[in-house]
Structure 1
Amino acid sequence: MALDIVIMAAGKGTRMRSARPKVLHQLAGKSLLQHVLDTVCALGSDRIITITGHGAGEVEAAVRAPGLEFVRQEPLLGTGHAVQQAVPLLHDEGTTLILNGDVPLIEAATARHLIDDCGGQRLSLLTVALGDASGYGRVVRDAAGNEVLGIVEHKDATEAQRQIREAYTGMMAAPTAALKRWLARLTNDNVQGEYYLTDIVAMAVADGVHVVATQAANETEVLGVNTLSQLADLERRYQLGRAEALMDAGVRLADPARFDVRGELVCASDVEIDVNCVFEGRVEIGEGARVGPHCYIRNAVIAPRAVIHPFTHMDGEALGVRIGAGALVGPFARLRPGADLGEEVHIGNFVEVKNSTLARGAKANHLAYLGDADVGERVNYGAGSITANYDGANKHRTVIGPEVHVGSNCVLVAPIKVGEGATIGAGSTISKDAPAGQLTVARAKQVAISGWTRPQKKKK
């Protein structure tokens, strides 16, 4: 049996007070619409059709899914009119699942339940009981409260109907052949002059098609976003859910309310994460590792027992960042793409590492830059020292052997090699290879000039 999925994403979102199309606003680092698309990809559909309208070009360029197709709703004449635009792409038989692009946290299991309840024969409506159902369509049942008779939109509901707490979420699964018939019969005889998708419920009842209400597992998964306030509320709900899952797996969070995952965070047991940390992309943290407060970590692997001190900025981009077991990083360190720290490496305050490997026990404890470098075991890299890796056109590599001591305020002009056990005198600018086991110094001779006086400011 064919399964078509239709996602409505055409609305303006005027209450967002934003030039950005509503479905492209981000939740946990991903657009609302992309959340929905990622969820439905697990359902094994034959076709995914997204209906765009306001900002259609921008929306279509911003989202991805296997086999995704777009249709446009122009002008915007209501939800029923939106789904009518998808009719030419629907199969003749089977089931059509209709979801909303601004309801990002719908669970795959709930969507599957909705499809199964339809079974290609029934009209299955996703509903939820809300304490305050303002703005939602209400589910109207018979006198016994069993059979679903219809959906009345909030704007068209009577005062008595507005007291109904069972709300229609805007999502449904319908027999595709019947859905096509019902969509063709829609009219805009209502307060808004729009074509309501909900009107097909009464048509189904009249046609003798059984209408069933599928209950959502929880309120959060069916909450839509119409305002920035609602988006912020949903963000906190989502993050709290992630936090609770991590704590259940043995992660110690100092405060679950001050924690953000905008991608995938995988933690072993006994990991500790302090407040106001942000994780993006894919981050793996090994057993017993600790992350201090106010850290930003993106696309990184942190080995067991590593300690990330406060205010560390770690962005691996495509190359990633790797932190070895027992390493110490920060505070106020910056690790860029390709930073690969071995076991027990120390990277201290205001040290930047980019596209460089540091072997076991190497240390750069403060105020330094290592770019495009290979650093050997137990190297001590002094404060204020840098690898000058860029000649204005190309990048070059610096190779520092094991047991090297680089004094403070040195410049290593790449390409260059510093031999094992070498010492670079403080304040040196090294532009040639430094031999192993020797002291290399490259600085002007100190001179004291007697009788010299400072210039005096001229009197006016």
Structure 2
Amino acid sequence: MALDIVIMAAGKGTRMKSALPKVLHRLAGLSLLEHVLHSASTLHAQRIVAVTGHGAEQVEAAVSAPNLQFVRQSPQLGTGHAVQQAAPLLHDEGVTLILNGDVPLIEPDTMRALVDACAGRHLALLTIVLPDPTGYGRVVRSGDPVGGTIEGIVEHKDATPAQRRIKEVYTGVMAAPTAALKRWLAALTNDNAAGEYYLTDVVAMAVREHVGVVATHAHDEAEVLGVNSPLQLADLERRYQRRLAERLMEAGVRLADPARLDVRGELLCGQDVEIDVNCVFEGRVELGDGVRISSHCVIRNARIEAGAVIHPFTHMDGEASGVRIGPRALVGPFARLRPGADLGEDVHIGNFVEVKNSSLARGAKANHLAYLGDATVGEKVNYGAGSITANYDGAYKHRTVIGANVHVGSNCVLVAPLTIGPGATIGAGSTLSKDAPAGQLTVARAKPVSLPGWTRPVKAPKAG
């Protein structure tokens, strides 16, 4: 039996007060629509149809998923009208699952349960009981308000005072036999307070045709909350982060304060990992056993291996190339690691040291105020404070190779391309533009000159 998924993503989101289409606002590093697509993709539907409208070109360019197609809704005349635009692309035999592009945290298990409840025969609605149901369509049942037969859904603006006291609400998510759904969509009218075509009107049609209308319930409120304003977006962000923090702690991660954690991607943790407050993880980050992340670190696309310690205010951004931190390495505070930084076992990178596209072998150290770009650094190298690799000539990048056990003194400039042989020592303050031989001291400084009688410039006295 074919499964099609329709995602409604046409709304303008006026209350967001933003030029960006609502479904492209980001939560935990992904757009709202990307969250929905990622969850929907786990169901392996034959077709996913996203209905776009406001900012359609921008939305369609920003997202992708297997078997995804787009249709446009213009003008936007309600939820029923939105699904009408998708109807020609749906398989006649099968089930259609309808989702909302601004409800990002719905779980795949909830979607599957709804499809299973439909079973190609029933109209299945996702509902939830809310303490304050204001704004939601109410689920009207006969007899027992909890277990009675579903008779229809009444939108908030059309509900009577008695109906507004109903706590069970429709979340905007349903699964329906596709052939019946197409028939119901064709019969929709806009005879209501808003003059719109309501998708919820198909419930009454199903009842009239004696098609069973069943409900499954969302696990929690966060799963079905939509985003209509920056306030709601921020609230949902914190709910998401708290849920994720709880999962991490249940797996054994020690969080100093679960309320001060932000994961904007995928965070994978080994055993006995410790994370201090106000850390941000983006992209894919892997933390090995016993890793300690101190406060105020920002880490993106990095693999940090067992026993490494990241001191406060360290910034890592691996972009596409990634960053790797070897076992028991010490990094920071105030260090910056950029794409291609690869630190070996027991490497030390200290305060205000920047590393880009460079590898440091076991036991190498750059402890203070230094830059290593496009460099290959051997074992147990000591790289002095204030030293840099001058790797860019204005047109091309060049590489610096530093052999094992080299000592580079403070305030050196290594002008690439350059090779320093194993065991060499580079005198402090040297500007080196030629290779340095192994095992020798190399000094490249201008001869000091003292000028007797020289005086510093002084400002001329002001006139008047």
TM-score bucket (shorter structure): over 0.9
Alignment of 1:94-173 (within 5 A): 94-145=94-145, 146-173=148-175
- 2:232 aligned to 230, 233, 256, which one? 230
1:379-409 Cα distance to aligned partner (Å, 9 max, x none):
1101111000011111110000011111111
Partner residue, 1:91? 91
What is the one-letter code of the residue matched to 2:207?
A: V
Deviation for aligned residue 1:65: 0.1
- 2:333 aligned to 331, 342, 359, which one? 331
State how far apart, in whole Å, the 2-side matches of 1:404 and 1:194 are: 75
Distance 1:189 1:421, change over 3 A: same
What is the one-letter code of the residue matched to 1:183?
A: L
State how far apart, in whole Å, the 2-side matches of 1:456 and 1:179 are: 87
Report whether the alignment pairs 1:415 with 2:387.
Answer: no
1:265-310 Cα distance to aligned partner (Å, 9 max, x none):
0001111101110001110001111011110000100011111011
Partner residue, 2:345? 343
- 1:306 aligned to 308, 317, 337, which one? 308
State how far apart, in whole Å, the 2-side matches of 1:100 and 1:457 are: 70
Partner residue, 1:214? 216
The alignment partner of 1:86 has SS state of: helix
1:215-249 Cα distance to aligned partner (Å, 9 max, x none):
11111111111111111111001101111111111
What is the one-letter code of the residue matched to 1:213?
A: A
The alignment partner of 1:237 has SS state of: helix
What is the one-letter code of the residue matched to 1:154?
A: H
- 2:189 aligned to 179, 187, 190, which one? 187
| TM-score for the superposition, normalised by structure 2 | 0.98
The alignment partner of 1:134 has SS state of: coil
Partner residue, 2:25? 25
Residues paired across the two proteins, number: 460
Partner residue, 2:42? 42
The alignment partner of 1:43 has SS state of: coil
Deviation for aligned residue 1:450: 2.5
Partner residue, 1:445? 447
| Structure 1: stretches of 5+ with no match in the other structure | none
Partner residue, 1:58? 58
State how far apart, in whole Å, the 2-side matches of 1:417 and 1:281 are: 35
State how far apart, in whole Å, the 1-side matches of 2:204 and 2:393 are: 73
Partner residue, 2:77? 77
1:299-332 Cα distance to aligned partner (Å, 9 max, x none):
1000111110111010001110000111110111
The alignment partner of 1:85 has SS state of: helix
Report whether the alignment pairs 1:391 with 2:390.
Answer: no
Partner residue, 2:262? 260
Deviation for aligned residue 1:22: 0.5
Report whether the alignment pairs 1:5 with 2:5.
Answer: yes
Report whether the alignment pairs 1:273 with 2:267.
Answer: no
Alignment of 1:419-430 (within 5 A): 419-430=421-432
Q: Which 4+ runs in 1 deviate beyond 4 A?
A: none
What is the one-letter code of the residue matched to 1:236?
A: R
State how far apart, in whole Å, the 2-side matches of 1:189 and 1:143 are: 27
State how far apart, in whole Å, the 2-side matches of 1:202 and 1:454 are: 92
Deviation for aligned residue 1:143: 2.0
1:122-143 Cα distance to aligned partner (Å, 9 max, x none):
0000000101111100000002
Partner residue, 2:383? 381
1:131-163 Cα distance to aligned partner (Å, 9 max, x none):
111110000000233100000001111111111
What is the one-letter code of the residue matched to 1:17?
A: K
State how far apart, in whole Å, the 1-side matches of 2:226 and 2:399 are: 52
Report whether the alignment pairs 1:372 with 2:377.
Answer: no
What is the one-letter code of the residue matched to 1:424?
A: I
1:44-77 Cα distance to aligned partner (Å, 9 max, x none):
2111000000110000000110110000000000
The alignment partner of 2:259 has SS state of: coil
CA RMSD of aligned residues (A): 0.8
Report whether the alignment pairs 1:15 with 2:15.
Answer: yes
| TM-score for the superposition, normalised by structure 1 | 0.99
State how far apart, in whole Å, the 2-side matches of 1:455 and 1:100 are: 71
